[in-house]
Structure 1
Amino acid sequence: MENLVTSLVIYFSLLVFAFNVHVMAQWPKGTSTRFYDFKVQTKRITKLCNSKDIAVVNGMFPGPVVYAREGDRIVVNVTNETPFNITIHWHGVRQILSCWYDGPSYVTQCPIQSGQRFTYEFTMVKQKGTFFWHAHVSWLRATVHGALIVYPKTGVPYPFKTPHEEHIIILGEYWVKDVVQLERATIDSGGAPPPADAYTINGQPGPNYNCSKQDVDKIDVVPGKTYLLRLIHAGLNTQNFFAIANHKLTIVEADAEYTKPFTTDRVMLGPGQTMNVLVIANQPIGRYSMAMGPYMSAKGVQFQNISSISYFQYLSTNLNSLSLTPTLPSFNDNLAVKTVMDGLRSLNPVNLSKEIDANLFVTVGLNVQKCQSKTPKQNCQGLNHGVMAASMNNISFVKPKISVLEAYYKKINGSFTEDFPKAPLNFYDFVNGAPNNIPNNTQSLNGTKTIVLEYGSNVRLIFQDTGTVSTENHPIHLHGYSFYVVGYGSGNYDPKTANFNLVDPPYMNTIGVPVGGWAAVQFVADNPGVWFMHCHLDIHQSWGLGTAIIVKNGKGDLQTLPQPPADLPRFEAKSVSTSRSISPVTEKAKSTGQPVLPQPVNRSGRPVLLNGYLIRLLNNENLKFVSIGQPLRSTGSGQRAKIRPLDSELK
């Protein structure tokens, strides 16, 4: 009887909590509320013959999978138990009216300090597919990442035949050295970073690397069955080809949006991109390698040229049998990349407006700033004894000491300006002009300059690659939005000859701007807030290749950014780094006690009263909730949930 009463108290308390938290009309309510608990911790692991401490979530690398359905509300309580500052970004989630929970450090929030907590809350509004979450501070994404899988609403089928099984495949990069120290050393040197020591598939390097014969991931398959592979690129500085020996890949989704089926021998993903592919197990019984190899379009850049291997293995295969290895394209095969991009089309026709309210022309590329250090041998190791930088329209983005969103919302002066140029200050032969025809002032300027858009405006962005240092494919990601990729091509963009697809362009959140070329994207600015737009190659982001877009409020609550949550991490001056782009690292928490759970608030910022038992319940590290009264199916300590959960668990 006591257990029954306790259960009823928990149940009704959660109902009251959900009602109070989501009572305001301007916030999407969600169909079900799914609770997750993230503890960011350090863990010692051994790979590539070396041991080191890495940052992970819940002791897992890659981290735990977050499951939901379209329309669900997701609540994730993040506790930072590492000595580092941390934020979590929910990559590809549009964060409708929930910009405060987007996650990029010093853009939408200050980091979660060591020993502190922050609760992320957002709704999957009209979104489903393969997403992922990752740290958005320093280079911690290397090990702090995991999948976010959002299924269609109950009863809504896929637009393709239901696969026999689904598997998550996360592509990554691994360094033997500490990645936070590595980024700091790279910035301090003024030069380029060393390449990754290994590529990884689901955290495993595979047998091609030293001490890694047993560190290999595999998928067991049944002859004749169809498998859905959810590919996620969580790596830092390299784009990669992916293929399975003797098997075709049929693309059915890109960046969490359905596409017309397109069959190919291989795909290419840049950091930040996701892709769903169908694979039919139609080959003789055996072991077939899934290979991840480099795509490096820039000249003179060091990269890891050894492929990571995992296995697509048929049941009953002799464990001692050799694996067949796919032939990947050459590391600089731009045509192979274009072929995949050419095959991407939205599943259904779209009706895009030809009337554009905001036209922006944005150059992307690398720069070399003049050496101003008194110790140039230590700090000016870039090209021509300069300091490497990167920019959009010749502006290298500097993250402020307080988040741009908080400064904008609270009207705090001095943190940013609203004068990002709508076009480069100088036009020249962007692609072929190096080195003779480039203006002398193409050294980038440092600043926190933002783009400002009116609510509801139709926006077209033209991204132009430049050859100031070297032309290169840049995976550009826009937070808070997906956009239609209406055109792309080689050379300098020419509006007289550019062809736009306004019928069925792919709908993406990360676009690879072609090496020595351009890409055009289009979207409606209907989500108020401050949204980071940046290259997803982390070294380029560290060098300043990004900016922030401010979308103004519209009319009424449904077009107005709500006020910040009460537990939003606070700025602490002592922890801020003076480096251009490195987010700060804090000292270890002095307190030996458990951090206090932030008091829940409703969307007006008023505290929600919960009974003491529920507070203790929510603070219990051994208890998770997927939805009210329904625990998440455990996959065992340290194991990934690679196969789709039971439908009964996602009702």
Structure 2
Amino acid sequence: MALSPAAAVAVFFFLAMLVGGDAAVVEHTFVVSQVRMNRACKDTLVTVVNGQLPGPAIEVTEGDSVVVHVVNKSPHGLTIHWHGVKQRLNCWADGVGMITQCPIQPGKNFTYRFNVAGQEGTLWWHAHVASLRATVHGALIIRPRSGGDAGTLYPFPRPHKEVPIFIGEWWDVDLVELDMRMADGFFDDYPVNATINGMLGDLYDCAGASEDIYVMQVEPGKTYMLRIVNVALLSRYYLKIAGHRFTVVAADANYVKPYNTDVIAIAPGESMDALVVADAPHGKYYMVALANQPPLPDQQIPVFSSRGVLQYSYNPIKGEDPTVINSLMVPEMPDQHDMMTSFYFHGNLTGATPHPPLPINVDDRLFISLALGSICRGSHVPLPSSPCRGYDVNESISVATMNNVSFQLPTKVSLLEAHYRGNMSIAGKLHELPDKPPTEYNYTDKTMIPWGSKEAALESTTKAMSVRMFRFNTTVEIVFQSTAILNSDANPMHLHGHDFFVLAQGLGNYDAERDAGSYNLVDPPVRNTVLVPPVGWAAIRFVTDNPGVWFLHCHYGFHTSMGMAVAFEVENGQSSDMTLPPPPIDLPRCEHHGNSVAYQ
């Protein structure tokens, strides 16, 4: 028998107490409002949480429960997504606008409740409505449970200090309007520059005065763990620190075998934990974040780069000279068009033991092409007899697609509520995501990047509410294929509610007969976001062990707004511990304030 909403809340807290004798309930209040921030010689009205950018960090221990009261004092409806939290039997708390809930409307409140059992490492939270995540975001740090006198049980020497590093972008435009323009096929806005922990850094010269710069103070000989997150809407980034190396120990809150490198390659949505030893001579060392992008003939965007400083403390008692501290070393960065450094970085990550067992027998296989396309303005359907062209904005809308379908959000009821009622059609007309693209072609033919005859035949597509249903406990394997239709960029694909094994990646067109033999079935990394290489492919595998409706989408902001997404509907299992409970009693209801409920 289904529980009442009030009983469901009581069960949440009861289960939280059962997780462990020393588990805690960590409680926060997030006040979302608009404040004016001065960046790049301009006062910009920015939506933030508790007046901070980045927002407040949530720090918990594995097994704890989290309660966050969201008070929306902004003029926009919004949700908060807990990126990477598995939300076991708790899909209602996933925080995706019109997928798992209606947005929290201006002047309204909502409380998210979830636990973090079975997860350790760096995750993050962010707005999942419109492009507001560019400024509404923060860290979600899950530490291992302490082991007596030994302290925190990391599978590596405990660092002296842990330091969140957010690589992002500063936009001086209204982010909700930006999202509406992108959803309508316009993409002519760019950020002012990259940021590190919300600061533009001294590379950005504002009327002759450098912007604020992030400074990380270190002590000689100490080890620091950087909790690095890419929160950008637009770009992948390379991160380097002059004179220092990294040891990557975790990605997406899953441990990896320690990997030594002098560069971190990180895409939007990804998080990396990396150890840095302060073993260089006393001084100041630049920390540089550089955006990278495909070379021509792809559309070129401005070069975005931000600098912070790693600065050694000095001890005058030991005769150390403070003038040496003032010297600055700059790292040699990869070229902004260098795609291979990122390819090899991600390919070198392997899973650390113990890790969940890799399922061997696959029940459902999908081959998903990731592309751009167009729909006819006004009709939202292709017209083969009179095809619309992506370059003519008066006739068509540019969209992003998965298997030639561009995702469209419902506007009256969330997909999860429709699923819970047992009738997904009340959310609107559904389109089942096909197993493969409707047309097979040379997906990575770079002559299709510019508008022309080759891409024209493949450009026309469909806008629909794309859904794929899975039975509970199904083993699913997906091969993502990045294509060269109108662009040749990589695609960071993020799955909600589940982690997955990254089996392999490759360049060019995926060939099952050839490439399945390259799968890592021994120690694949476990992730929630996979970077599909430019004009390449990536293969993942996971088990649908969490009932509900879960979003799968590209984590580029513009790709999400343009429709590179699908909703996975996972049915209930056969027992109560495999069944989605009822919604919380205060779950927001859809209210129609213009187009506010339609933002992603």
**TM (normalized to structure 1)?**
0.82
Structure-1 separation of matches of 2:569 and 2:11: 26
CA RMSD, Structure 1 to Structure 2 (Å): 2.3
Partner of 2:190: 195
User: For residues 303-331 of structure 1, what are the alpha-carbon distances to aligned partners after superposition, in whole Å with 9 as ceiling and x for unaligned?
Assistant: 33141000010112549824211111111
Establish whether residue 88 from structure 1 lines up as the match of residue 80 from structure 2: yes
| Displacement of 1:353 | 2.7
1:470 to 474, 478, 487: 487
Establish whether residue 431 from structure 1 lines up as the match of residue 431 from structure 2: no
Please say if residues 79 and 96 of structure 2, whose CA atoms lie closer than 8 Å, have aligned partners that are also in contact.
yes
Partner of 2:403: 393
Structure-2 separation of matches of 1:266 and 1:553: 43
Structure-2 separation of matches of 1:562 and 1:121: 13
Q: What secondary structure is seen at the aligned counterpart in 2 of 1:448?
A: strand
Partner of 1:104: 96
Establish whether residue 181 from structure 1 lines up as the match of residue 171 from structure 2: no
| Displacement of 1:437 | 5.2
1:259 to 234, 256, 260: 256
Please say if residues 373 and 458 of structure 2, whose CA atoms lie closer than 8 Å, have aligned partners that are also in contact.
no
Residues 40/201 of structure 1: CA separation in 2 closer, same or farther (3 Å cut)? same
1:329 to 334, 340, 343: 334
Partner of 2:271: 274
1:165-564 equivalences in 2 (<5 Å): 165-188=161-184, 190-211=185-206, 213-297=210-294, 299=296, 300-316=298-314, 317-318=322-323, 321-348=326-353, 351-371=357-377, 382-385=390-393, 386-401=396-411, 402-412=413-423, 413-416=425-428, 417=430, 419-432=432-445, 434=448, 440-498=457-515, 499-564=518-583
Please say if residues 26 and 557 of structure 1, whose CA atoms lie closer than 8 Å, have aligned partners that are also in contact.
no
| Displacement of 1:298 | 6.4
Aligned length: 559
Paired residue type of 2:416: L
User: For residues 514-537 of structure 1, what are the alpha-carbon distances to aligned partners after superposition, in whole Å with 9 as ceiling and x for unaligned?
Assistant: 101110000111011100000000
Structure-1 separation of matches of 2:13 and 2:187: 50
Q: What secondary structure is seen at the aligned counterpart in 2 of 1:253?
A: strand
Q: What secondary structure is seen at the aligned counterpart in 2 of 1:40?
A: strand
Which stretch shifts more, 179-188 or 481-490? 179-188
User: For residues 385-444 of structure 1, what are the alpha-carbon distances to aligned partners after superposition, in whole Å with 9 as ceiling and x for unaligned?
Assistant: 542110100110001012110111113434252621111111111111735555835422
Structure-1 separation of matches of 2:563 and 2:183: 11
Structure-2 separation of matches of 1:467 and 1:441: 11
Structure-2 separation of matches of 1:512 and 1:78: 31
Structure-2 separation of matches of 1:301 and 1:409: 43
Please say if residues 194 and 302 of structure 1, whose CA atoms lie closer than 8 Å, have aligned partners that are also in contact.
no
Please say if residues 282 and 325 of structure 2, whose CA atoms lie closer than 8 Å, have aligned partners that are also in contact.
no
Structure-1 separation of matches of 2:325 and 2:40: 23
Please say if residues 431 and 464 of structure 2, whose CA atoms lie closer than 8 Å, have aligned partners that are also in contact.
no
Which stretch shifts more, 210-219 or 509-518? 210-219
Which stretch shifts more, 351-360 or 430-439? 430-439
| Displacement of 1:86 | 1.1
Paired residue type of 1:22: F
Structure-2 separation of matches of 1:285 and 1:220: 12
Q: What secondary structure is seen at the aligned counterpart in 2 of 1:22?
A: helix
Establish whether residue 160 from structure 1 lines up as the match of residue 179 from structure 2: no
Structure-2 separation of matches of 1:23 and 1:473: 42
2:138 to 139, 143, 146: 146
| Displacement of 1:187 | 3.8
Could you tell me which runs of 5 or more consecutive residues in structure 2 were left unpaired when the two chains were aligned. 1-5, 315-321, 380-387
Structure-1 separation of matches of 2:545 and 2:295: 35
Residues 223/320 of structure 1: CA separation in 2 closer, same or farther (3 Å cut)? closer
User: For residues 571-606 of structure 1, what are the alpha-carbon distances to aligned partners after superposition, in whole Å with 9 as ceiling and x for unaligned?
Assistant: 11344459xx635xxxxxxxxxxxxxxxxxxxxxxx
Residues 349/57 of structure 1: CA separation in 2 closer, same or farther (3 Å cut)? closer
Paired residue type of 1:134: H
Residues 318/120 of structure 1: CA separation in 2 closer, same or farther (3 Å cut)? farther
1:34-113 equivalences in 2 (<5 Å): 34-113=26-105
| Displacement of 1:182 | 2.2
Structure-1 separation of matches of 2:89 and 2:592: 29
Structure-2 separation of matches of 1:428 and 1:461: 19
Structure-2 separation of matches of 1:372 and 1:495: 39
| Displacement of 1:556 | 1.1
Paired residue type of 1:535: C
Please say if residues 312 and 325 of structure 2, whose CA atoms lie closer than 8 Å, have aligned partners that are also in contact.
no
Partner of 1:636: none
Which stretch shifts more, 383-392 or 194-203? 383-392
User: For residues 103-145 of structure 1, what are the alpha-carbon distances to aligned partners after superposition, in whole Å with 9 as ceiling and x for unaligned?
Assistant: 1111101000000011000011200100100000101011100
Structure-1 separation of matches of 2:510 and 2:205: 45
| Displacement of 1:265 | 1.1
Q: What secondary structure is seen at the aligned counterpart in 1 of 2:477?
A: strand
Which stretch shifts more, 490-499 or 321-330? 321-330
Residues 18/559 of structure 1: CA separation in 2 closer, same or farther (3 Å cut)? closer
| Displacement of 1:344 | 0.2
User: For residues 232-255 of structure 1, what are the alpha-carbon distances to aligned partners after superposition, in whole Å with 9 as ceiling and x for unaligned?
Assistant: 111111111101011111100111
Paired residue type of 2:291: P
Structure-1 separation of matches of 2:59 and 2:168: 21
Q: What secondary structure is seen at the aligned counterpart in 1 of 2:432?
A: coil
Structure-1 separation of matches of 2:9 and 2:290: 49
Q: What secondary structure is seen at the aligned counterpart in 1 of 2:514?
A: coil
User: For residues 76-114 of structure 1, what are the alpha-carbon distances to aligned partners after superposition, in whole Å with 9 as ceiling and x for unaligned?
Assistant: 010100101110000010000110000111110100000
Structure-1 separation of matches of 2:97 and 2:295: 28
Please say if residues 453 and 549 of structure 1, whose CA atoms lie closer than 8 Å, have aligned partners that are also in contact.
yes
User: For residues 243-281 of structure 1, what are the alpha-carbon distances to aligned partners after superposition, in whole Å with 9 as ceiling and x for unaligned?
Assistant: 101111110011111111111110111110000111111
Percent of matched pairs sharing the same residue: 38
User: For residues 460-487 of structure 1, what are the alpha-carbon distances to aligned partners after superposition, in whole Å with 9 as ceiling and x for unaligned?
Assistant: 0110111111221000000001100001
Residues 240/19 of structure 1: CA separation in 2 closer, same or farther (3 Å cut)? closer
Paired residue type of 2:496: H
Please say if residues 247 and 283 of structure 1, whose CA atoms lie closer than 8 Å, have aligned partners that are also in contact.
yes
Structure-1 separation of matches of 2:9 and 2:546: 24
Establish whether residue 20 from structure 1 lines up as the match of residue 13 from structure 2: no
Structure-1 separation of matches of 2:351 and 2:277: 23
